[in-house]
Structure formats: C-alpha cells, structure tokens
Amino acid sequence: MLDAFFKELGTSTSQMALCANQTLYMLFVSLFLGSVIGIVLAVALVLTNKDGILRNKPVFFTVNTIINVVRSIPFVILMVFIMPFTKMLVGTRIGTTAALVPLTVFIAPYLARLFENSFLDVDKGIIEAAQSMGASTFQIIWHFLLPEAKGSLILSVTTGTIGLLGATAMAGAIGAGGVGDLALTYGYERMNFSLMLFTVIVLIVFVQIIQSVGNHFAFRTRNR
C-alpha cells in the first residue's frame, strides 16, 4: 500500500527511506557534535564575562567574536566556503558525511548563543552559594550551572534542532541528499507538486514532534 502511494507520488519506498535516513543522520550527528561544542563555548562565555567567576576579557572577546563571525555567514555560503576544511577533515567535499562539517560549524555557535542565555538565566545567588561552599570551578559548572539550566538548555536544543533541519535541506546542494533534496530535485525540478506538498507536510509534522518532545522534557525538569 505504501509502495503504491509513493509510486503515485513519483518516487519509491526505498528512496523515501534513504532520504529520511540521510536527513536524520545529518540532523542528529551534527546536533550532537554542535551541542558539545556549543556547551563548551557557552560555558567559556559565561565564566569569562564581566560578572563571571573567571572574568577574562581576552578569552571572552575571542570566543564572542568567533561566534559572531561564524553566525554572520549564511549557511549556503558557509558550506562552499569551508570546503577545503571539510576535505581536510573527512576526505571529501561532497556527500552526506561531508555535509556534517558545515552543519556542525553552523549549528555550534548558534547553540552556543542559546545556551549562553540559558546559563545567564541561572540566578547569580546560586553561584554565590556554590562559592560559599568552596566549590571548584568544575564543581560549580557540573553541580550548579548545568542542573539549574537544564530545562532551558533542552528548549535551546529544540530550537537549534529545528533551525538545523532547515540547514540540512540546503545541504542537498552539495549532494548530501535528504528530504530537502528530494523536494527540490524531484518535486521542484520535475514540477511534481504533490511530492513537494508531501515533503512539506512531513517536515511540518516532524517539527511539531521535535517541539513537543522538547517542551515535554523541559517542563518535566522545571515543574517538579
């Protein structure tokens, strides 16, 4: 039945599965890498800002500037701009795996900004309490900053995931495949409107699911 449906749309079940697979692969791998880098950058910003416990102007300025610079570059341009770097890292410029590099470089500073806001929302008094107990910098991050910001961090990741989903569609331009590529090459270029409509609906549903899951976990940590 599913086969017939996709055939009607001008594609096939195996192609749909491949596209979905590529999108999810790009999304989750770059989300994971981007979140790790984003957390590190955000922690660096919060610790070294002018009210931070490790106040350090040069470090703050450097990290802050790097984030701003990378965030100024539109993803389509970033993708081709860092191709030499991509090749150096994964050995190829095109394909799904190659797309992971620009996707991660794109999402990490974006998440870093969102995470920074989440951390800044943590009450200063909590940090002071931590210091009064003699907590080390690592302990302050691990036992105070991260748990207190958890709900807000989850919402930040949710927002980031949805932004990243948009970027994966553009990654089709460097042969990364995925749902966005399907809509463009098969839907748009072959003027297959029903296929395009289908992918749009799939994306809308997917975004709704991401947001609902994010909200669910965020509020579970907040409203206890």
Partner 1 sequence: MNAQQQSSQDEPIIRFEHVSKIYNVKGQEVRALDDVSLEIRRGAIYGIIGFSGAGKSTLMRMVNALETPTSGKVYVAGEDVEALRRRGLRSLRKNIGMIFQQFNLLESKTVFDNVAIPLVLNHEKKDAIKKRVDELLEFVGLSDRARSYPAQLSGGQKQRVGIARALATKPEILLCDEATSALDPDTTEQILKLLGRVSWELGVTILFVTHMINVITKLCDGVAVMEHGRIVEQGSVLDVFSDPRAEITRRFVSTVIPDRIPDSIVEKLKKEPHPGTLIRFRLRAKAATDNMIWQIDTGFKVKTNVMFASVTELQHVVLSVIILKIEGDPEEIKRVTAYLDAHEVEWDEVKI
Nearest distance in Å: CB 157, partner 1 = 17
Site string for partner 1, 112-141 (x = CB under 8 A): -----------x-xx-xx-xxxxxx--x--
| Binding of residue 87 to partner 1 (CB under 8 A) | no
With H, G, I as helix, E, B as strand and everything else as coil, classify residue 56. Answer: coil
Q: Which is nearer to partner 1, 136 or 215 (CB)?
A: 136
Q: Which is nearer to partner 1, 50 or 189 (CB)?
A: 50
Nearest distance in Å: CB 99, partner 1 = 36
The dihedral built from the CA positions of residue 93, 94, 100 and 106, taken in this order, carries a sign that is positive
| Binding of residue 3 to partner 1 (CB under 8 A) | no
Interacting residues with partner 1 (CB under 8 A): 123, 125-126, 128-129, 131-136, 139, 143-144, 147-148, 150-151, 221-224
